[in-house]
Structure 1
Amino acid sequence: MDQDSILISVLILLAGFISIELHVSTAMLEIIAGVVGSNVLNLHSFSWLDFLADFGLLGIMFLAGFEVDPKLLRSNLSRNLVIGTSSYIFPFLSIFAISFFVLKNSFETTLILSISLSTTSLALVYAVMRDRGIINTPYGQVMLGSALITDVLSVLSLTVLIGNYGLYTIIYGLVALLFMILSPKIGKIIFKRYKGSPAEIEIKFILLLLLIMPFFSKHVGISEAVFAFLLGILFSEMIEEDIAVQEKLRGIIFGFLAPAFFFKAGLLMKFSHLTQIGIYLIIILGFIAYLSKYIIVFITTRIYMNSHLASMNGLFCNFRLSFGVIAAIFGLNAGILTTELYTVVLTIILLASTISSIALKIIPHEIPETW
């Protein structure tokens, strides 16, 4: 292992130590560690880090799905739809109007900016809610469910934008559906027969399923993160009965895979690409993106919960990361976004998540007893 790889490992470990000592989100500090690595230490990504980061996203989304109570998800469906849909559409239209009519960006550029800056990172929301201990509360499930709706709308928007559909898409879609149906059934047999085995067959089986997700994503045109989340929901009842598997999965994902994902997200930031115009764009678009999402989420959440929880959800929904980065990377690779605009988007995503993380640190940490 070369010097840079060791340095990356040390930075990730230091982020963990600091998060514990300062009682702040581990995920946010891992992102900041990546920013420091990229802009101060001039580190770059490696193939091993790319693999672990992609695997880490799938692991986080699987655990997020596992934490969702299917019964609560169904009973809270109308709330999730109202909050989650408005959380995506209102910021999308606000950013679209500013980018297209005021900043005079092209239609394609405006679409990519609107999609990437209207997202909510379900992976990061889950990680922060887990740190705060509200993931299993009834209102925590509503917040997680609404974040899921926003994430799915983001995925669908980009899928429609770049989709190239045909007969093979339908075939692979049906195969993916069959895979999602059969996996839990096969899993039940494996879990029952090999429970407690020193070969850790259950863990290997779940990790294998996650590795298959990108294959279906590539051919169906739906983010593998969504597949992983749905798979987590399907496996939730099965894994819930096996505490040992739960603990091992969380250890592997949050101790090894997830840090790589969050670190790489920060590593993508290159402030050297920013000009004065780029800084102005960060201020304008960042302000519109953050405020529009916070206001609409506060208003819609307040219909169902008290003002403290509505404010908290407004901050949670402003965590932008995984799919915002994915949309921005697509825009960059397709020539729709310039390197500077790409850096602008990533900077806004990081700043929004940082502001929310700091604000959540300041507001009361107690878990409310009532909605």
Structure 2
Amino acid sequence: MLALGFLFTGFSYKLLIFVGAVIVVCFVGIPLAKWIFARYSGKVSEPEIKFFLLILLFLGFLAEYSGSEAVLPAYIIGLAMAGFFLQYKETLHKMRAIAFVAFTPFYFIKAGSLVSVKALAATLFLIVILLLVKVGAKFIGVLPATRFFKYKRRDGIYTTLLMSTGLTFGTILALYGLTNKYISNSQYSVNVTVVILSAVIPTLIAQKFFFPKNVLRERVLQGESNDGNKKINIIDICSKLIIIKYIKGICQ
């Protein structure tokens, strides 16, 4: 992701400004976030969420200014602040809901609107082959790691299937390639379709056939089996919504 980010940007003084801002936010953001959460957490106006959105918008602007993609700093900030958000899961869930409701629909509609239905019909066999290659490559890379860390067979396959996707970044790459005329509309259509399918199909298979039994057992023992089923269904619904938004974009 970092390597492709540099390829997007090119080397210039704008890149130095962008990288410097990301580094500063990574080191200053967590202490500042702790202070904001301690002082303003629980307010109806949700100032802590506005704080993080402000950071993302600022870094997104700098990314666009430097010629990169606005989503790239979001990955970096997400990695840097992942441990912090473990303490504030409710806020994390709220931000996730905002992203899925306010931003994701436009993103997938735009991606889908550029897809050629004729290209999909003509390259269906190629799409299947590339999907198998993409998921197979993830199995080659991830499954041995689960064995190394002594995952049980079922848990290892479940983890591998969930990591088969490259939904956001894969779509960004395809869109960037099409916008800058590195790939044709037909190639874009095939790439985006494979990326979408690699996100949806392995996730559905994982949730249906390989969901960890120990998690289900714990939920039953704690009297949370109904809540557990709801959480599984929510993931299924989100996967179907992605497909619907993608198809809606094509139709438009």
Is residue 2:17 matched to residue 1:171? yes
1:317 to 146, 163, 173: 163
- After superposition, what is the alpha-carbon deviation per residue over 1:171-198, rounded to whole angstroms, capped at 9, x for unaligned? 3322332233223333333333333334
In structure 2, what residue type is equivalent to 1:295?
I
Alignment partner of 1:336: what SS? coil
1:362 to 208, 218, 221: 208
Q: Distance in 2 between matches of 1:310 and 1:316?
A: 10
Alignment of 1:138-177 (within 5 A): 155-177=1-23
Q: 1:202 to 1:362 in 2, by over 3 A?
A: closer
Q: Distance in 2 between matches of 1:326 and 1:163?
A: 14
Is residue 2:154 matched to residue 1:308? yes
Contact 1:301 1:310 in 2 (8 A): yes
**Aligned-pair identity (%):** 26
Q: Distance in 2 between matches of 1:171 and 1:295?
A: 38
> What is aligned with 1:337?
183
> What is aligned with 2:118?
272
Q: Distance in 2 between matches of 1:198 and 1:346?
A: 39
Alignment partner of 2:11: what SS? coil
- After superposition, what is the alpha-carbon deviation per residue over 1:334-370, rounded to whole angstroms, capped at 9, x for unaligned? 212111111111111122223202311331423447x
Q: Distance in 2 between matches of 1:258 and 1:367?
A: 31
> What is aligned with 1:281?
126
TM-score (norm 1): 0.49
Q: Distance in 1 between matches of 2:163 and 2:83?
A: 27
1:291 to 129, 133, 136: 136
Q: Distance in 2 between matches of 1:290 and 1:236?
A: 26
User: CA shift at 1:310, angstroms?
Assistant: 2.0
Q: 1:342 to 1:229 in 2, by over 3 A?
A: closer
Q: Distance in 2 between matches of 1:353 and 1:237?
A: 25
Q: Distance in 2 between matches of 1:158 and 1:247?
A: 29
TM-score (norm 2): 0.68
- After superposition, what is the alpha-carbon deviation per residue over 1:17-39, rounded to whole angstroms, capped at 9, x for unaligned? xxxxxxxxxxxxxxxxxxxxxxx
User: CA shift at 1:246, angstroms?
Assistant: 4.7
Q: Distance in 1 between matches of 2:208 and 2:90?
A: 35
User: CA shift at 1:256, angstroms?
Assistant: 4.3
Q: 1:214 to 1:314 in 2, by over 3 A?
A: same
> What is aligned with 2:33?
187
Q: Distance in 2 between matches of 1:331 and 1:284?
A: 21
User: CA shift at 1:322, angstroms?
Assistant: 0.6
Contact 1:159 1:221 in 2 (8 A): no
- After superposition, what is the alpha-carbon deviation per residue over 1:80-116, rounded to whole angstroms, capped at 9, x for unaligned? xxxxxxxxxxxxxxxxxxxxxxxxxxxxxxxxxxxxx
Q: 1:167 to 1:273 in 2, by over 3 A?
A: same
Q: 1:300 to 1:220 in 2, by over 3 A?
A: farther
What's the Cα RMSD here?
Answer: 3.1
Q: 1:200 to 1:163 in 2, by over 3 A?
A: closer
- After superposition, what is the alpha-carbon deviation per residue over 1:195-220, rounded to whole angstroms, capped at 9, x for unaligned? 33343322222221222121232355
Alignment partner of 1:196: what SS? coil
In structure 2, what residue type is equivalent to 1:317?
M
- After superposition, what is the alpha-carbon deviation per residue over 1:286-344, rounded to whole angstroms, capped at 9, x for unaligned? 33222232233223322222221221222122113111011111111121211111111
In structure 2, what residue type is equivalent to 1:297?
V
Q: Distance in 1 between matches of 2:86 and 2:165?
A: 27
Q: Distance in 2 between matches of 1:167 and 1:181?
A: 22
Higher relative contact order (CA 8 A, sep 6+): 1
Q: Say how many residue pairs are matched.
A: 214
